[in-house]
Structure 1
Amino acid sequence: MKTVTIIGGITGIIMAVIAYFAELNSWMSIEAIVTIGFAGYVLIITAIAYFLLAWLYKGSKKLDVL
């Protein structure tokens, strides 16, 4: 699962960068740019959320539960 999440995060970063340069250089319509950029941001946020939740879960196993 970590490998898939890392690939998704990297893909999201690439999509966001491509959308930025496409908007900067007017390569395509604004609707396509916004869609690609939004999908990239969703992938980035999902990857970060997965790793944060995995880190919290691992940390909670170390704590003594009442």
Structure 2
Amino acid sequence: MRKLTMIGGVFGIALAVTAYFAELRNWMSPEAFITIGLAGYVLVITAVAYFLLSWLTKGLKEDLEVL
């Protein structure tokens, strides 16, 4: 699952960067690239949320073992 989330996060960054350059360089059909960029942002946010939640649950499990 971590590998898949990491790939999704990197792919999301690539999509967001592509959308940024499409807007910067005035490529054709900027609406499509804005949609692609939004999908990239969603992928990045999802990957960050997954890693933060897995880090949090791992920390809670370690704290409960100490008690």
Q: Could you state the TM-score of these two structures normalised by the residue count of structure 2?
A: 0.90
Deviation at 1:19? 0.4
- Residue of structure 1 equivalent to 2:49: 49
Structure 2 residues not aligned, in runs of 5+: none
- Runs of 4+ in structure 1 off by over 3 angstroms are none
Deviations 1:9-33 (A, max 9, x none): 0000000000000111111212112
The 1-side partners of 2:2 and 2:49 are apart by 12
- RMSD of aligned residue pairs (Cα, Å): 1.5
Structure 1 residues not aligned, in runs of 5+: none
Identity of aligned residues (%): 64
